[in-house]
């Protein structure tokens, strides 16, 4: 189906996957959510990547939604590869028609209104990728290392053997407190050190929330915007960090710049949210 037909065809709302630099291709075929045909709506040299949908949000049971979110991710990946740069949208952003214009017109109007920002950022994100870096500690190993390396804690541990039961309990509490305190201090020091080393490879960074994990302690959760030609060097630095005993590094990507697109204030990103 030609794009002209898609533009006119019901249903009347547009699900938006991303904004890309305009390319020759304006139809990506039935790769969208629920097999919808994915095509572009353009203004000047930028394009919104969309499919036609009813004017209501997508929802469903867990499996259905998981599938839809994964498809959204796949579409973003596919068009990113072709277009070379991308501003990905969040899941389920749908533009509706209104009395004065179709959804199609509204999308084009949005591109027009935000043209300068979108164009600038598309240019900025070209040849850059988002990488996820998470650094974990194995608490058992780190605790042991601290106990071995910290003189005060070592002394306390030597003392405890000579104490009566009541006093030993008191000493164990003291040791536990000292270890906890030293662990926090070490986490701060290591965090600063890792951040400084990783930041050197990144055009931008975003600190994400620490997540809970059953067996390991996450001490850092970063998104980095990195030029493609620096990814390997960053990986080597991460390998150095990961070689330390009790330290584990998780390195994911290359991602389309979801995190960094979301920071663009003028089009509804993080900065806007915080204002």
Contact residues toward another protein (CB under 8 A) are 13, 16, 19, 55-60, 62, 65-66, 69-70, 72-73, 76, 87-98, 101, 106, 109-110, 113-114, 131-132, 209, 211-212, 231-232, 235-236, 238-239, 241-243, 247-255, 258-259, 261-262, 264, 266-269, 272-273, 275
Torsion, Cα 191 189 136 131, to 10 degrees, reads 20
User: Which residue's CB is nearer to another protein, number 138 or number 159?
Assistant: 138
Smallest gap from residue 139 Cβ to another protein (A): 14
Smallest gap from residue 110 Cβ to another protein (A): 6
Smallest gap from residue 239 Cβ to another protein (A): 5
CA distance 245 to 273: 40
Question: Long-range CB contacts (< 8 A, 24+ apart) of 169-175?
Answer: 175/147
CA distance 73 to 90: 10
Smallest gap from residue 89 Cβ to another protein (A): 5
Placement of tokens 């164990």 in the chain: 172
User: Which residue's CB is nearer to another protein, number 197 or number 242?
Assistant: 242
CB atoms inside a 10 Å sphere around CB 142: 23
User: Which residue's CB is nearer to another protein, number 187 or number 266?
Assistant: 266
CA distance 222 to 220: 6
User: At a CB cut-off of 8 Å and minimum separation 6, what does 260 contact?
Assistant: 125, 130, 204, 206, 223, 225
User: Which residue's CB is nearer to another protein, number 6 or number 238?
Assistant: 238
User: Which residue's CB is nearer to another protein, number 171 or number 258?
Assistant: 258
């Amino acid at each position: 189906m030609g794009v002209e037909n898609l533009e006119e065809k019901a249903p009347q709302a547009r699900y938006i996957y991303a904004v890309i630099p305009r390319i020759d291709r304006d139809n990506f075929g039935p790769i969208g959510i629920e097999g919808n045909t994915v095509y572009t709506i353009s203004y000047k040299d930028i394009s919104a990547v969309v499919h036609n949908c009813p004017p209501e949000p997508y929802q469903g049971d867990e499996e259905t939604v998981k599938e839809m979110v994964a498809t959204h991710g796949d579409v973003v990946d596919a068009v990113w590869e072709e277009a070379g740069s991308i501003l990905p949208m969040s899941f389920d952003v749908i533009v509706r028609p209104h009395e004065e214009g179709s959804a199609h017109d509204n999308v084009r109007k949005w591109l027009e209104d935000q043209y300068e920002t979108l164009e600038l950022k598309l240019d900025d994100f070209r040849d850059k990728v988002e990488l996820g870096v998470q650094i974990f500690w194995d608490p058992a190993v780190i605790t042991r290392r601290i106990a071995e390396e910290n003189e005060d804690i070592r002394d306390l541990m030597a003392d405890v053997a000579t104490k009566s039961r009541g006093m030993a309990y008191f000493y164990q509490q003291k040791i536990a407190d000292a270890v906890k305190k030293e662990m926090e201090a070490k986490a701060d020091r290591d965090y600063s050190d890792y951040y400084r080393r990783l930041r050197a490879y990144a055009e931008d960074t975003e600190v994400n929330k620490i997540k809970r994990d059953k067996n390991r302690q996450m001490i850092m959760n970063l998104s980095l915007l990195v030029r493609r030609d620096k990814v390997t060097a960053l990986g080597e630095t991460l390998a150095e960090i990961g070689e330390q005993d009790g330290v584990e590094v998780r390195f994911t990507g290359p991602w389309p710049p979801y995190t960094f697109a979301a920071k663009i204030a003028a089009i509804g990103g993080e900065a806007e949210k915080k204002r």
